[in-house]
Structure 1
Amino acid sequence: MIWKVIEIHLRRLRHNRVEWLLTFVVPIAFFSIFALIFTRGVGSTPRVKVALVNGAAESADNPDAANRCQKVLDNLGQNEGLKVIRGSSDADTVDRKTAETMVRRGTATIAVVIDQQGEQISAELLNDASDQVASQVVSALVTREIMIGTAPMSGIPGQAPAADDELSAEQAQFAEFVQNVASKPDASSDAGTSSTTGEAFSPQSFAPPKIEVVNIIGQGKTNPVISVYAAGIAVMFLLFGATTGGGVLLEERENQTLERLLATQMTMDHLLLGKWFYLTLLGCVQVTVMFLWAQLVFGLNLFEHFDGFAMMTLATASAAASFGLFLATLCRTRGQLGGLSVVAVLTMSALGGSMVPRYVMSEPLQRAGLWTFNAWALDGYDKVFWRELPPSELGPQLGVLMATAFVLLLAARLLAIRWEVT
């Protein structure tokens, strides 16, 4: 009898495509997505977006210092780990005010300001604290380029400046020392021997340059990342709620309630719009409750940014409601909707940043995430709560979300035609 029970369930599994999907396909799909995110398996390693500023050039008092700083900036611009964000002109460098604005708007992650104090070149990193990795990466690269770029002018013992296309033995030895300093700042104490030449090298006169990290976004916030978590979780469960609400259409279809409704003066347009308005209102309440809880318990500043929050929540809930109705009209049974919604919502949440911050993804995955409205919703909430930008800056996010809501609602109406003719 035990084997008979097992046999019944095996037959059920064989004929149930949704169960096959959830048992075998979904785990493999999500393993693949997270493997691609954390192993950089798609495309190149994500590059840090930087704005470059020549601080010595802005003062214009010391042309030699400006040239030395520009040399360091040129070397940074050629580094494969960095993506230089230009201003309105084609030049790689911008002024400090423009660079700070780029960081505040999210155009650049870090602004690198290279300046000279006395005879030493220093750097100031204007940082967006939401990316907790970028400042460490850029700091190491800036340290390396400053020390290597100024090596011929720093007086390596017994070494005259070499030609631009030639590295002397001492410079190669110094480059290895700098690489150790950049990767481990306290390595200068035991870097006295270089494997490049096998000779002793004294680095005492080459202290690491001064690198100051200034968090221009996130500084002074009581709970700086709570808005990111609240938005990510709220959008993901908003999608689940919308698909569950849209599934009521299939229940009405199965128990013939839909036919009785359409036999009255109610049309399919009335029915779909009524459900869309209800799901949108319910979604707005759901997200508001989430953020109110974040305000009361975790110190999120909701009421100070309520205008931007209200606009983003209305647009996001509208798009989620249309998404739920689209999936409901696309499927034929409640079981199909359950399986498809789980795959669709979790996939969009993974790629769109609800589960993993998008800045740790490779550039191809970040571009793929733009096909999900999770990414646009999170970018909008990020502008409101993290960057504290005015609502006028939400145009791209609001435009994409409202366009998504309209297109998906129209698609749901076209798919629902089959219920009117049967």
Structure 2
Amino acid sequence: MRYVFCVIWGFLLSAWVDSQSQRRPNFTCGGNLTGESGMIGSEGYPGVYPSNTKCTWKITVPEGRVVSLRFRSIDLESDTLCRYDYVDVYSDHAGGQRLGRFCGTFRPGALVSSTKRMLVQMVSDANTAGSGFLAVFTAAHPNERGDRYCGGRMVKPSGSFKTPNWPERDYPAGVTCTWHFIAPSNQVIELKFEKFDVERDSYCRYDHVAIYNGGEMNEDKRIGKFCGDSPPAPITSEGNQLVVNFLSDLSLTADGFIGHYKFRPRRLRTTAAPVTTPTTSTTVTTAMVKYSPDLCKKKCERNGTPESHFCASSFVITGTVITTAVREGRVHATISIISIYKEGDLTIQQAGKSMSTKIVVLCKKCPFIRRGLSYILMGQTDEKGQGAISPQNYVVAFKGKSQRVLDVLKYQRC
């Protein structure tokens, strides 16, 4: 009798396992998906995803709808910049705006396309770790702007943008909103936040607003990352496109924000205003401090003292270099500000009590700055508030004893 019972139990268990395996979708590398809803997952999910792959899923929902994508699970190799294994989500099949790049185990909120199409692409390198991802897509109405839907393409000459639920109640947890501003080719975009209250963190690691020049979320073109209850300073794009990305995690929330934007013509200067330093002269233009082609070929020497450079400099700050990127022989750096001794027209971003600015070192090896180190930085600004440092400007490593000299200079009349 016991034998018969075991045989029957084994048969039933085997049948149940088979039925469960039949219910579980067999996820492959990429594909075309259509309809009102569906599910996509990394190849072999929930098993470990394969290495050295590039899988693309093209999603299409019925005419008159947009695609809403929610990640049920994500477990990819973790990296701060998602350089190795990652999932990219785009708001169309070809040439669409990138809505985000994701890795690690953090699940973003709902991602909503601006068309009836969405593209999801997963890339893995030689080393893999994790079970990949599982996501569900649904067809949503384009004007549906409830707790979860926000963002979109902003092509009108002016307007406003805000977090979900503003101003009635706090923004919800677990949402991602991306606004893509597109002005005519001869115009730029001006942003100004009227009210701003996003979960505070010294490094804006949780809820935050990130703003990028251009049409995608490229870290090299990030203008700033903001949180806390202090509105960012007004922002003007470099070109005719700008991306604002708001993200809330799955914990604390806050009031949110409302911002306003407008397009305006580029302001071009036909003449350059001279700015004199103790040793030579440079000129300020709308884009950058001009210099001769031989400027970076000269021997790199620091001349003068803080006192001799102070009045000739547009800005004087101390700060720590947190990012550097070399483009066209110049170093584009983000500086976390320690103290400001002379602000001038320098554009400064503020997130809570933290302040930062972006500067360009015109010659990548002169003066040479290194990420993670702190410096005294004296340089010039253009009419957009862009800071620039040439070999003639004063840049030295910041030490505690230097602060007393700078504190005295701060009150010096120039």
Higher strand fraction (1 or 2): 2
**TM bracket, shorter-chain basis:** under 0.3
Q: Flag the structure with more relative contact order, 1 or 2, with Cα contacts below 8 A and sequence separation at least 6.
A: 1
Considering only CA atoms, is the larger Rg found in Structure 1 or Structure 2? 1
TM-score in terms of structure 1 length:
0.20
Which of the pair is proportionally richer in helix? 1
